Amino acid sequence: MANLVVKTDVEYDSINHQKTDIYYDGDVKQAKGAIIDIHGGGWFRGNKSKDADSSKRFVELGYLVVTPAYRITPVAYYPAPLEDMDHLFEWLKNSDLPFDHDHIGAFGSSAGGNMVVELAIKYGIPIVSLSGILDIDDWLGKHQDVVAAEGDTSGFNATASANINQTGANDPFYKWFVTNYFNGRTDQYEAATPYHRVTNQTGTMYLANSLNEFVPNSGVLTMAKTLSDHQIPYMTRMLTGSRHAKGYLDDVWDDVAAFFNRTV
């Protein structure tokens, strides 16, 4: 890629003043499509620069990439990040950016994996979700005895996403950040669980998880069954070990590239 163009801090939402970074190949008149790349961080940490690495890899595949910031706690809680992605999607569709506007997909990991599934449900676009947080109400209902605990979350912004939460299950911390997203409101769990809202117009999905990782794989399994019930095509990939989200990106990269090549 001879001419990577990176435009940082482009405002996509004039109400909440949210910004996105944009990556594309300046030597290509029009990219074959756009990928929305949504960072993780449990809705309480992280930033768009965390996904600069994956965004550049998508440009090498021929896509224009938008990598947005979104509101996180304690500034805002559910459903604010999802509302931000609605604004981003509308802005992208109406933009004059150099890509085929009929071809948009989305990629996200962990909390970002939840958010791209929401885009597939709302807009019918193809998505890749790595370790997406997809099982909220059922998991919380079955883990009422787990005591939520934040633990040590320092140093996150200085650490690559591929090195975060790679050591396996940590139910106290998992419960802490999921319930933190709702700021104590227990009445929102069902509404925030994506598989309850799958329809026959939902976009095709690639869903990955490790078998013994930080995010329980029950979300992928239930989502897969729900997509089957609605005759929505999907792919799943379960990996051995405890790696989380971008921790196994290299292992699934060929899958991801082929999936978007077919669907975007």
Q: What is the pLDDT of residue 168?
A: 78
| pLDDT computed for residue 153 by the predictor | 72
Tens digit of pLDDT at every position of the chain (264 positions): 669 999 999 999 999 999 999 999 999 999 999 999 999 999 999 999 999 999 999 999 999 999 999 999 999 999 999 999 999 999 999 999 999 999 999 999 999 999 999 999 999 999 999 999 999 999 999 999 999 998 777 666 666 666 667 677 899 999 999 999 999 899 999 999 999 999 999 999 999 999 999 999 999 999 999 999 999 999 999 999 999 999 999 999 999 999 999 999
- The per-residue pLDDT for 164 is 65
Return d(Cα 146, Cα 93) in angstroms, integer: 43
**The predicted structure's pLDDT at residue 201:** 98
How high is the pLDDT of residue 165? Answer: 73
CATH of 4-263, one of 3.40.50.1820, 3.30.413.10, 3.40.50.880, 3.90.870.10: 3.40.50.1820
Long-range contacts of 93-101 (CB under 8 A, 24+ apart): 97/22, 97/24, 97/34, 97/64, 97/66, 98/24, 98/28, 98/29, 98/30, 98/31, 98/64, 99/24, 99/30, 99/31, 99/32, 99/33, 99/34, 99/63, 99/64, 100/30, 100/31, 100/32, 100/33, 101/34
Domain ranges of the chain: 4-263
d(CA 27, CA 87): 29
Report pLDDT for 169.
87
The predicted pLDDT at position 157 comes to: 63
